[in-house]
Amino acid sequence: MDVKALSFLGIKGKIGLIIILFVVFIGITAPVISPYDPTSLFEPFEPPSSTHLLGTDDVGHDVLTILIYGARVSILVGFATATISTFIGLLTALIAGCYEGLDPIISRILDFFLVIPRIPFIVIISAFLTPNIFIVILVLSFFGWAKTARVIKPLVKQVYSREYVKRLKCIGAGNWYIILRHILPATFPLAVAQFVLEGGHAILAEASIGFFGLEDPSTLSWGMEINHALQKSIIFLTNIWTWVLGPPILMLTITLLSTTFISIDLETRINPRLKVRSW
Amino acid sequence: MMRFNSLKTPLVQGINLTKIFRYGLIWGEPVEAVKNVNINLLRGASLSLTGESGSGKTTLGKILLGIIRPTSGKVLFNGIDLTNPKRVPKYIRRMMSYIPQHPEEAFDPRWRLYDNIAEPLRIHKLIGSKEEEKEIIFKLAEDVSLDTSLLNRRPFEVSGGEIQRAVIASALATNPLFMVCDEPTSMLDISTQADILRLLKNIRDKLNISLLFISHDIEIASFMGFKIAVMLKGRIVEMADVDKLINEPLHPYTQGLLGIVKVEYVSSYAKNCRGCPYYDRCPVKMLPCREKEPKLKNVGGDHYVACFRY
């Protein structure tokens, strides 16, 4: 890890980054580090012990194994959604900010996408289409890019109206030259902050879909695990919920917190109006 | 390569330029930034624009560069129409350069001074190799007496005067024929101002550049130009050679700028007045001034003035 890149972030950002990297690590190395195969079954509701570090759930899956494999889904959904929506959002923001004539049209399109509530729409879509992780990614990106575009567009406009851009235009620089060489580097940090935030939102949205039970039942995700656990209300009569429900919720919370930490940290460094805040 | 006309025909020609800015959708009041301005600039000649703030100097300068599209009128650069910015061939752009008002705004803050100065060369692909580029940049820096050790710094790490020198170096990189300097010294202290002005004057004389120098200070304007045009509310009210205008100004506004006549304080100006733009403040106003706008006319010896008294 490059120490210099880390030193750009504050303490919050560093903690967030370390947690995210940890989650990515366990997601990638899941087949190696997980104690059991995700399909193997044991006695249901076994408490944590040396053989099952986090116990087993209602069907007899090892909770730790499911947790480790669940990280894969969350990271995949988060990363893919964030990549697609940041790319489209950034491109839209650059076009809207630099071509004045297109701005009103693009702004109305953004408004349209921003007012559609994301999760209810996904619930409807998942009810009709085959519940599939790639459809979830596509639908999440379909609604995620508008927010990224809305956040980045004002910065693009601000940079585009700077005096040096006018000077370059006068010298003969083309619009795309200015966009690629000057405006994109200026907006890139904000795009990274949006990327991380969007990733976090996508992870949460995916977990919500799993929680509603609208995903492919064989998907091993944290949301699905919470859904399975909640279907057996018996777990709340004893302390079973502490190992069946607790770990996925905790992992989800920690992951979301860390993405939020990174994006807040990046934003306070980019946006001068937030710099006074110190927490 | 294009052929250049003789020295007698103007290099830059603005014909009947008008620019109206509109703000808001429905209630926005149109602002006439530039109104019916005719302006000619010969090759190697230099003209100073002066006038109070908000008189449309900067807008006129940007229209002549083809950055702002005029509402009506035409800009000809050696016979090529600049009015539609998209239709302007790229090699024309190489022949003009612009020095903005705030030197610290003129460069990309993320780039080193070296890259910023070299950028016009790179846009037009005028250099073959890195070494050649370095040689040209160092020579340019020397021409504007900029310390070459500063070239590795970023714009916010050097002083205002140094960055202004770098901006001038960058403006000269493509050997322009026409240069617009928009108050290049207004943000600098007095001694640096004098240095920069002398530098600009030397460069103008050495390279035979047509310079449009914009300044609210009539003294600086008279130092830099062969000719001065005085602007008021988007119109040119007086235009003459420097000596003539300074020694015998005709328009009451110019006389006021030079401190020859005392101008009374007016708390508010009439909006969209049909008559003379100086009617509110004029100490020698007459009856027709209120109703009719005087036209710019030649009163002899290339001295133009827009006033009913002449």
Is there a contact between B169 and B103 (Cβ–Cβ < 8 Å)?
no
Is there a contact between B218 and B51 (Cβ–Cβ < 8 Å)?
no
Contact between chains at A170 and B123 (C-beta distance less than 8 A):
no
Angle at B178 (CA atoms; ends B176, B182), nearest 5 degrees: 110
- The answer to whether residue B26 sits within a structural domain is yes
Contact between chains at B67 and A166 (C-beta distance less than 8 A):
yes
**Residue B214 and residue B77 in one domain:** yes
Q: What is the rounded average pLDDT for all residues in chain B?
A: 83
**B114: helix, coil or strand?**
helix
Chain A residues close to B66, C-beta within 8 Å: 170
pLDDT at A109: 92
**Residue B75 and residue B129 in one domain:** no
Paired residues of B39 in beta bridges: B14
How far is C-alpha B30 from the chain's CA centre?
A: 23
Per DSSP, B240 falls in state E
Chain A residues close to B124, C-beta within 8 Å: 172
Chain A residues close to B107, C-beta within 8 Å: 164
**Residue B64 and residue B125 in one domain:** no
**Residue B38 and residue B91 in one domain:** yes
Torsion of Cα atoms, B67 then B72 then B75 then B81, to 10°: 90
**Residue B117 and residue B143 in one domain:** yes
- The answer to whether residue B194 sits within a structural domain is no
Helices of type H across chain B: 57-65, 90-93, 113-123, 130-143, 160-172, 190-207, 218-224, 242-247, 252-257, 287-291
Is there a contact between B279 and B273 (Cβ–Cβ < 8 Å)?
yes
Model pLDDT for residues A217-243, shown as the tens digit of each residue: 777 888 888 888 888 777 777 777 778
- The answer to whether residue B61 sits within a structural domain is yes
Query: How many cross-chain Cβ pairs, A to B, lie less than 8 Å apart?
Result: 52
Count of residues in chain B: 310
A12 touches chain B (CB under 8 A): no
> How much of chain A is in helix, strand and coil states, percent to nearest 5?
75, 0, 25
**Residue B159 and residue B31 in one domain:** no
**Residue B128 and residue B256 in one domain:** no
Contact between chains at B120 and A171 (C-beta distance less than 8 A):
yes
Residue of chain A whose alpha carbon sits nearest to that of B171: A171
CATH code of the domain containing B14: 3.40.50.300
DSSP result, B21-72:
E--SSSSPPPEEEEEEEEEEEETT-EEEEEESTTSSHHHHHHHHHTSS--SE
Model pLDDT for residues A121-134, shown as the tens digit of each residue: 877 877 787 777 88
pLDDT at A88: 94
One-letter-per-residue 3-state SS of A10-35: CHHHHHHHHHHHHHHHHHHCHHHHCC
Predicted ipTM beyond 0.90 = no
Whose tokens are 């302006």? That residue is B39
pLDDT along chain A (279 residues), means of 10: 54 89 89 81 78 78 86 89 94 90 90 86 78 83 89 90 88 87 87 89 87 78 83 77 84 91 81 53
pLDDT at A91: 94
Count structural domains, chain B: 2
Domain boundary among B175, B198, B214: B175
**B228: helix, coil or strand?**
strand
- The answer to whether residue B198 sits within a structural domain is no
pLDDT at B267: 58
pLDDT at A79: 92
pLDDT at A89: 93
First-to-final CA distance of chain A: 26
Residue of chain B whose alpha carbon sits nearest to that of A185: B110
Say how far apart CA B176 and CA B157 lie, in whole Å: 28
Query: Going from the N-terminus, what domains does chain A have, and what CATH number goes with each?
Result: 3-274 (1.10.3720.10)
**Residue B210 and residue B256 in one domain:** yes
**Cα Rg of chain B, angstroms:** 20
Per DSSP, B280 falls in state T
Contact between chains at B110 and A186 (C-beta distance less than 8 A):
yes
Is there a contact between A119 and A207 (Cβ–Cβ < 8 Å)?
no
pLDDT at B259: 78
Of B223, B284, B294, nearest to B35 (Cα)? B294
Domain that holds residue B116: 106-175
The pLDDT tens digits along chain B (310 residues) read: 445 544 567 788 888 888 888 876 677 777 888 888 888 888 888 889 988 888 888 889 988 888 888 888 888 888 888 887 677 788 888 888 888 888 888 888 888 889 989 888 888 888 888 888 888 889 888 888 888 888 888 888 888 888 888 998 998 888 888 899 888 888 788 888 888 888 888 888 888 888 899 988 888 888 888 889 998 888 888 888 888 888 888 888 888 888 777 666 665 555 556 778 887 777 777 777 878 888 888 887 788 888 888 7
pLDDT at A73: 87
**A239: helix, coil or strand?**
coil
Is there a contact between A121 and A143 (Cβ–Cβ < 8 Å)?
yes
**Residue B273 and residue B161 in one domain:** no
Q: Between B92, B94, B123, which is nearest A177 by CB?
A: B123
pLDDT at B78: 82
**B238: helix, coil or strand?**
strand
B100 touches chain A (CB under 8 A): yes
- The answer to whether residue B197 sits within a structural domain is no
pLDDT at A62: 83
pLDDT at A2: 38
pLDDT at A277: 46
